[in-house]
Amino acid sequence: MDVTIDKIVLHTNVTIQEKSSKYKKKSATVSTTNPTEIKALLGLLVLSAYLKSNHLETEELFNDEICGAVYTRVISRKI
Protein backbone atom coordinates (compact mmCIF):
# COMPACT_ATOMS: atom_id res chain seq x y z
CA MET A 1 0.00 0.00 0.00
CA ASP A 2 2.88 2.39 0.70
CA VAL A 3 4.00 2.12 -2.93
CA THR A 4 0.54 3.20 -4.08
CA ILE A 5 0.47 6.09 -1.59
CA ASP A 6 3.93 7.18 -2.75
CA LYS A 7 2.75 7.19 -6.38
CA ILE A 8 -0.31 9.26 -5.45
CA VAL A 9 1.91 11.74 -3.58
CA LEU A 10 4.38 11.96 -6.48
CA HIS A 11 1.75 12.60 -9.15
CA THR A 12 -0.27 14.92 -6.93
CA ASN A 13 2.82 17.01 -6.19
CA VAL A 14 3.69 17.23 -9.89
CA THR A 15 0.18 18.53 -10.61
CA ILE A 16 0.35 20.96 -7.67
CA GLN A 17 3.67 22.36 -8.90
CA GLU A 18 2.38 22.73 -12.46
CA LYS A 19 -0.77 24.53 -11.39
CA SER A 20 0.83 26.65 -8.66
CA SER A 21 3.42 28.01 -11.07
CA LYS A 22 0.57 29.80 -12.84
CA TYR A 23 -0.64 31.59 -9.68
CA LYS A 24 0.47 35.15 -9.12
CA LYS A 25 0.01 34.95 -5.35
CA LYS A 26 1.29 32.02 -3.31
CA SER A 27 -0.73 30.82 -0.32
CA ALA A 28 -0.65 28.08 2.28
CA THR A 29 -3.25 26.14 0.31
CA VAL A 30 -0.81 25.77 -2.58
CA SER A 31 1.77 23.47 -1.09
CA THR A 32 2.92 19.97 -1.83
CA THR A 33 1.44 17.00 -0.02
CA ASN A 34 2.93 14.01 1.77
CA PRO A 35 1.96 10.42 2.57
CA THR A 36 0.44 11.37 5.93
CA GLU A 37 -1.94 13.88 4.33
CA ILE A 38 -2.98 11.42 1.61
CA LYS A 39 -3.64 8.69 4.19
CA ALA A 40 -5.71 11.14 6.24
CA LEU A 41 -7.75 12.10 3.18
CA LEU A 42 -8.36 8.47 2.25
CA GLY A 43 -9.33 7.73 5.84
CA LEU A 44 -11.87 10.54 5.80
CA LEU A 45 -13.34 9.26 2.55
CA VAL A 46 -13.77 5.78 4.02
CA LEU A 47 -15.17 7.23 7.24
CA SER A 48 -17.68 9.40 5.39
CA ALA A 49 -18.90 6.34 3.49
CA TYR A 50 -19.17 4.33 6.71
CA LEU A 51 -21.09 7.12 8.44
CA LYS A 52 -23.23 7.55 5.33
CA SER A 53 -22.27 11.22 5.18
CA ASN A 54 -20.58 10.95 1.80
CA HIS A 55 -23.57 12.66 0.16
CA LEU A 56 -23.21 15.84 2.24
CA GLU A 57 -21.82 19.10 0.92
CA THR A 58 -18.46 20.23 2.30
CA GLU A 59 -20.18 22.99 4.25
CA GLU A 60 -22.13 20.31 6.12
CA LEU A 61 -19.17 17.96 6.59
CA PHE A 62 -17.13 20.75 8.16
CA ASN A 63 -20.00 22.02 10.32
CA ASP A 64 -19.31 20.78 13.85
CA GLU A 65 -23.02 20.87 14.72
CA ILE A 66 -23.91 18.49 11.88
CA CYS A 67 -20.97 16.07 11.74
CA GLY A 68 -19.04 16.82 14.90
CA ALA A 69 -15.42 17.82 14.74
CA VAL A 70 -14.14 14.74 12.91
CA TYR A 71 -13.43 16.43 9.60
CA THR A 72 -12.16 19.74 10.97
CA ARG A 73 -9.68 17.91 13.22
CA VAL A 74 -8.13 16.04 10.32
CA ILE A 75 -8.07 18.39 7.34
CA SER A 76 -8.72 21.99 6.41
CA ARG A 77 -11.84 22.82 4.41
CA LYS A 78 -9.86 25.31 2.33
CA ILE A 79 -8.66 23.61 -0.80
- Give domain limits for the chain: 2-74
pLDDT digit string (tens) for 2-41? 999 999 999 999 999 998 888 877 665 678 999 999 999 8
pLDDT digit string (tens) for 46-67? 988 898 888 888 888 888 888 7
65 SS3 class: helix
63 SS3 class: coil
Contact status, residue 61 vs residue 71, Cβ threshold 8 Å: yes
C-alpha to C-alpha distance for 1 and 5, rounded to whole angstroms: 6
C-alpha to C-alpha distance for 1 and 9, rounded to whole angstroms: 12
C-alpha to C-alpha distance for 9 and 25, rounded to whole angstroms: 23
